[in-house]
Amino acid sequence: MKEYKALTEISAIQYCENLGFFHTGGKLKCVEIGDGNLNLVFRILDESENRSVIVKQALPYARIVGDVMPLTLDRARIEADALRIQGKYCNDMVPEVYHFDKDLAVTVMEDLREYEVMRKGLIQSTIYPKFAQDIALFLARTLFYTSDFCMLEDTKKKLVAQFINPELCKITEDLVFTEPYFDVPNNHYDIEIIETVMELRQDADLLREVFGLKYKFMTEAQALVHGDLHTGSIMVRQDRLKVFDPEFSFYGPMGFDIGAIIANLLLSYAAHRYEENQDLFLEWILSSIAKLWLHFEVEFRVLFQSCHNKKFSEFLHIENDILTALLRDSLGFAGCKMIRRVIGLAHVADLDQILNKTIKNKAEILSLHIGRDLIKQRGSIQGMDGLVSLVKLEQ
Ligand code: SR1
Ligand code: MG
């Protein structure tokens, strides 16, 4: 067993050389490019051959706050295992894992140099025409194939055990479902929006619904979810995407991943809503949410009908009930995820980088209002058309 040590740009190069990833004698360059909240991410490039890999290492604490927040290294194992499973069902939609090292919590994986982080593209109002269709396929396949709708009972339960991820789930339980609704030191937000924050905290009906969603998150082991599927966990090009960073993976409610995508698209919508000349982009965001669900539903029904594990599909039209409940859950989780990104510890750049304070605060308040309404009205929202109308009506 090797002793854990955080890599540096120099030792990351040596690490790859020892593994024989590059031809000896090649001149290797290494840059630490991690911009997430938790890990180190190195890009190692052999310029002469124009070949590169990513070396990702979990730190024994959360990078965003430092060693006051210790964090399990086991998340690196969870991530590597999840990438392999997702790759099995969605070949080419996740980075390929070349090597995993449990002792150092290091994964060496495919570099996606020709892709960009989706959140950065959205901040520039970039439209991705294929996004909705592609992410719907990723969601339908990864969620369906790892669920009881498809897996044999014992296989699925073994996977539930393999993906027990208590520390990272606890982060979500605290940061998404609890802290935003209480006055705790982790939270931060502009004083200008305090009135809206207080309104949410005093809304007993809202708190009851959020608790119900938290309980679902904690208890419903429906499928192997990515667990943190925001637009910073997706790399995109105009014609395709790759989903990465599934260290929060665990067996949870399917709607948690779908809701994460909806939330992050709507946060981008809110961030651009008060900017000039954004009509086309705003329409694209809303139509993408509608399309996502449409494609998801079609693919999910096909998988459900063709599934070899017939114990559920024997019941006529049970998929209608499943999809209705799933849409409701997805909207509720989306709402929670919007609210946490405005009030809680970890914000999103879409809102944080808005320079005009008045516009920033209007966009934040809009996000809070949409989030609240998704949570409270999710049972009566009529499909994605209903969601689009609700969003457009918000001022
Ligand atoms: C302490 S970690 C903060 C956030 O970063 C991750 O991306 C998750 O969203 C988590 O909640
Ligand atoms: Mg992440």
Sequence-ordered list of residues with C-beta below 8 angstroms from that of 22, at least 6 positions apart, any chain: 16, 28, 44, 46, 49, 51
Pocket around ligand 1 at a 6 A CB cut-off: 37-38, 62, 64, 171-172, 175, 228, 345-346
pLDDT, tens digit (0-9, with 9 covering 90-100), for 251-263? 999 999 999 999 9
Tokens 């969003």 belong to residue: 391
**Closest-lying ligand 1 atom to the alpha carbon of residue 37:** 5
As a whole number, mean pLDDT of residues 331-345 equals 98
* Whether the Cβ atoms of residue 274 and residue 363 lie closer than 8 Å to each other: yes
Closest residue by Cα to atom 3, ligand 1, is 346
Q: Which position has the higher pLDDT, 311 or 236?
A: 236
SS3 246: coil
Q: Which of 340, 118, 358 is nearest to 243 (CA)?
A: 118
Confidence of residue 310 (pLDDT cuts 50, 70, 90): low
As a whole number, mean pLDDT of residues 307-318 equals 67
pLDDT, tens digit (0-9, with 9 covering 90-100), for 348-369? 999 999 999 999 999 999 999 9
Q: Which of 219, 208, 220, 211 is nearest to 176 (CA)?
A: 211
**Closest-lying ligand 1 atom to the alpha carbon of residue 232:** 7
Exposure on the CB side of residue 234, measured as CA atoms within 13 A: 28
Choice among 15-29, 299-313, 354-368 with the minimum mean pLDDT: 299-313
Closest residue by Cα to atom 1, ligand 1, is 62
CA of residue 176 to ligand 1 center, whole Å: 9
CA of residue 211 to ligand 2 center, whole Å: 24
For residues 96 and 77, what is the distance between their CA atoms, to the nearest angstrom?
A: 15
Sequence-ordered list of residues with C-beta below 8 angstroms from that of 204, at least 6 positions apart, any chain: none
As a whole number, mean pLDDT of residues 41-67 equals 94
What's the confidence (pLDDT) of residue 94?
98
**Closest-lying ligand 1 atom to the alpha carbon of residue 171:** 11
Closest residue by Cα to atom 11, ligand 1, is 172
pLDDT, tens digit (0-9, with 9 covering 90-100), for 243-292? 999 999 999 999 999 999 999 999 999 999 999 999 999 999 999 999 99
**Closest-lying ligand 1 atom to the alpha carbon of residue 65:** 1
For residues 55 and 98, what is the distance between their CA atoms, to the nearest angstrom?
A: 10
pTM higher than 0.95, yes or no? yes
Distance of CA 223 to the CA centre of its chain: 15
Give the relative orientation of helices 357-377 and 194-201 as an angle to the nearest 10 degrees. Answer: 10
CA of residue 72 to ligand 2 center, whole Å: 14
